[in-house]
Every structure is written in structure tokens, then in C-alpha cells.
Structure 1
Amino acid sequence: MKKFKKAILPIALSISVIGLAGCSTGGTKYISSKAGDVTEKDIVESIGASQLSKTATSMMIQKVLLDKYKNKIDQKTIDEQLQKAQEQYGGKDKFEQLLKQQGFTLDKYKDGLKVKAAQTLLINDYAGTNDDKLKESYEKNKHQYHLAHILVSVKSESNPNGLSDEEAKKKAEEVLKKLKDGGDFATLAKENSNDTANASNGGDLGWSSKEDNSFVKEFKDAAYALSKDKTSDVVKTSFGYHIIKVLDEKDSSFDELKPALAEKAAEEAVKKDSTIVSKALKKLFEEYNVKSSNSDVEAYIKSMLEGNTSAQ
């Protein structure tokens, strides 16, 4: 969806956290048997020079980013982001289980959030985005809407199990009638919504503003025309049929919105200049005197800083 507030595991996510920090090219035995041994050298050779270079560089990027911005990363924001992620995936236990399936721990996930925050700071520093510029964006975004929705999806290539357009519309209209007859929105969302990212939370989409580009136009036009506690009629988008409700609305403070505004500014800077990350990292690596005695790693770093290789 564009991006239908459908949660994805963040940047842990954006820079790999592969545990090779202790690997050398020595002959220390990891596993032994009568058939032969598996040594550190075997592991490194199996991984390959390219992957090893990428992993080593990614780990160094994390180190310098977190050192550079250790006093600017807002721990409260990190905790709030973690809590939201846990809620979106059905609670702490389910979230940790999902992380485990993907090879991550909760601590590594939090590290990923910190790295993401540091990346945002790095890009905005390089782009010259300061609080004054963020406050200009704040004025356009300060009025926030807390939205929820019920989605009845239609069949498509990406959703082969969806209903036909006619069936989906009919079901959405039936749900709307139940709401008008006094039905509870959150309960009906849990029972009927096909948006798996938030159905279990009563269709809760969180807070957004009219300037937010997270939703498709048809959805935005309907949602932001509503006032607090009001529910839309059935709204059709490319995803299916929605029923939207404004749970609350308010004017948020600058401090409340600053993390999201900073992240949006960084995203826009990257869209404007696709090489900005490489250029910002080059400046950072020079500041921290980053270099490698390994020719493969050194070549990889050079390629990355020239914009020929992804920093991710």
C-alpha cells in the first residue's frame, strides 16, 4: 500500500548486524569431527570477500554513526517507536517471536532504531536541515488526526484471496450499516478488516496530518474531511473498500512531531539527491579516520563512498 501505514520491520534492518566481529582468517577450530574441522578461515572463505567487506563496512558505519550522534539520539523516541512496533505486531511476546524468526533480538532491534535515528541526523546535518527548517514543516503538519479504518480488500495479483469488487463493496456496506446501528468500530475492524497490520488493534492507523503522504488520494480526501468521532461512508481505493473514522484530532507540539518531521526531511533529501548518503558518509569517515588494512574492504569502502555501492 502507499504505504498504508502497514508496518515493516525498520532499519535493523537497514544496516545488517551480522556477528562476524570476532572472525579472523586464523585457524581456530569452531567445530571438530573425525571427518575434519571447520575453522575461522573456512567460515570467512565460505562467506566470500565481498560479503565480508560489506559486513565489516556496515559494522563500522554503525560504530561511527552511534559515536557521532550518541548525545543527540532521543531515547524516549526510541522507546516509543519500539512500543508502537510491539503493538502493531500483537504485543511484546509476538513481536519478539517475529524478530527471532528473522534472526534478531529485541536489543538488536533497538540498536537498529538508534542507527536509523543516527542516519537521519547525519543526512539532515549534511543537507543543512536545522530546527528552523523543521519548524516550517511543523506549521503545515501540527494539526493531527488519529485515524482508524476497516478495509475490505478486493482480489488482485498481489491479493489473490480477495473478494470480487461487487462482493467487497457489499460486505463494506453491510459493515457500515452495523456501525450506523450502534456497532463498535474497533470490534468490527477486528472481525472484518483485511489490513493485517492493524486489524487486531481495531484498525488503528495512528496519527497523521493532511500533509502526510502515507495514504492514497481517495483515502486522504475522505479521512481529512471528517471531524472527531465521525465515520465516513464506504470509500473505494485501489486496495478495496474502506470505512474510516477519526478517533481524535489535536494540535501537536513541535517536540512531539520533531522526530517524524526530521525523518521526513531526510527522506526528501535523499529523493532530491540520491548520492547524499554516500557524500555524508565520506565526510564522516574522513572525520573518524576510517581505513582498512584489508585491500578488499578498502576497495569496497571506496566504491561505497563514490556512490557505486549501496551503504545498506
Structure 2
Amino acid sequence: MDWKGRRQSDNIEDRRGTSSRGGNPFGRGGMRLPSGGIRRSGLSFKTILIIGVIYLVLKFMGIDPLQMLGGDPGTVITGQPSGPGSQISETRKDEMTQFVATVLAETEDVWNGIMKSQGFDYPEPTLVLFSGAVASACGNASSASGPFYCPGDQKVYIDLAFFDELAQRFKASGDFAQAYVLAHEVGHHVQNLIGVLPEFNRMRRSMSQSEQNQMSIRVELQADCFAGIWGHYTAQKGLLERGDLEEALNAAEQIGDDTLQRRTQGYVVPESFNHGTSAQRQEWFARGFETGRLDACDTFNNPV
């Protein structure tokens, strides 16, 4: 990815070097979405989830979807858990900081443009850099939990050591693989803005664990698709280099539920999946990448 020399986002909060109690707010399986506290959106789940149409519908109804911001401080959307954080050199740390600040800036440009085209502002998320452990509005987390998005404070959290983990443990190297991870978490921010996350949290209170897992998969695959949309416009700018798309698709494959379970325990338990299989994650990222359209990312009204 041709990223050097481009604008870097100012929405960076560097908490590295500060201490915080660790923990895992995601629970077993790498993800937890606690119930309680999220207000209702006032719209049906089906209406909210028809992405691309929802903006116009809400506009005609006189409803601002940005009023659905905030959510439950205890709600966390995350990628996949990682192992213990590794140490990285100061030189590499500086370069990685510049990289994520640039990728975040690129996501801001894309989503500001998309939201503006629909007549709405895009409240930009903050990227929190931490090492070891961090406190968020969603609770405490350790590096082992992996990158995550907290709708309670509209922030994306990442220990940059995860990128080394991504390459070494998950066999997903390359800067565009790293960019995909960050764009996926920003995709959750977009979901929060348009009401998907608040509505999911409301509905999950009456769901069984199996039903929650199935709905969680659709939420995660949509975030993958939104990451693909960002990739689509990044490619249009001419910033992608040979092999970049393959890096992202490989990352999607390596962090699929089936691939992770097969690697860690030697067998898969499909009913416990909550992010999607490798094939599903690749497919939905590719849909966003190929089309660049929000309506192509409707994982809730289409087979996944």
C-alpha cells in the first residue's frame, strides 16, 4: 500500500506507557456484547438493516440516525483475540504509528464522503493506541483480546504489537492486511452510527446463545464488507500495490472462525462461530471491494 507521505489523522489518542488493569471484556470466544442500557432506535430491525436505503428513509421520516449514537458503555465489538503482546522496536513503533494514522485518515475521507452524499455528517472515531492493557467505556481489556471498537465512547482500540501477531501467529503479513483489520473496526463505528449495533444489542436480550452467534456473524460480515468499501475507494486513488488485495483476503481467511478453531484446537464447532468462516469473510470483504456500495453489504436480508 502506497501510504507514506499522505495525510495522517489527528484523531489519535496515545496511551502507550500508561498502566491499566487488564481483563477480557469479550468473554470466551473472543467477543462479548452485554445486554442492558441501549435505547431503542424507534425503527424496525429490518428497516435499519437495509443499508443504503435507510438514510433516505430516515431523512424523509425526519429522524436523524446520529441520535442513535452512544449505545451501551458495556458493548464491545472486536476482531479476533490474539496472543500476549510482543515487544516492538521504537523505530518500528514510530513507523506503525504513522501507518495507522494514515489509514485512519483514509477511512475518514471515504466515510465522510459517503455520509455527506446521504446528507449526514460523519462523527469520526478516535483511535486509541495502548500497550498491555487499556480501560475503555466498555470495560478493561488486555492486548490478548485483540483490536476492538467500543460504541460507548466511539473509539477503536489497538495494541500495535497485534500486527506482529497477525503476521507471525495468523500468517497474515502485509500492510494492507493490517489496514483491513483497522478498516473492519471502523466499519463497526459506521454500524454504530446507522443504528445496527444498538438494535442488535436490544434484540439480543431475547435471543438464545445460538441465535446471538448467528446474528453476530452477520454484524461482523457487514463490517468486513464496509472494510471492503474502504478498500474500493483506496484502490480508486491508486494507493494499492501489487498483492495488496491478496493480503487482505488472506487475512480474512486466516481469522475466520473455522480456520482459527482448526489451528488452535484441531477441530471446528460451527455452532460457536460468531465472526464467520474464512470463506464468508473473504466473500463479504470482496463484495464491498468490488462494488463500493452500502447496499451491497446487507448481510441481514441476504444469505451469508
Task: Please give the range of the TM-score, normalised by the shorter of the 2 chains.
Answer: under 0.3
Question: TM-score scaled to structure 1, two decimals?
Answer: 0.26
TM-score under structure 2 normalisation? 0.27
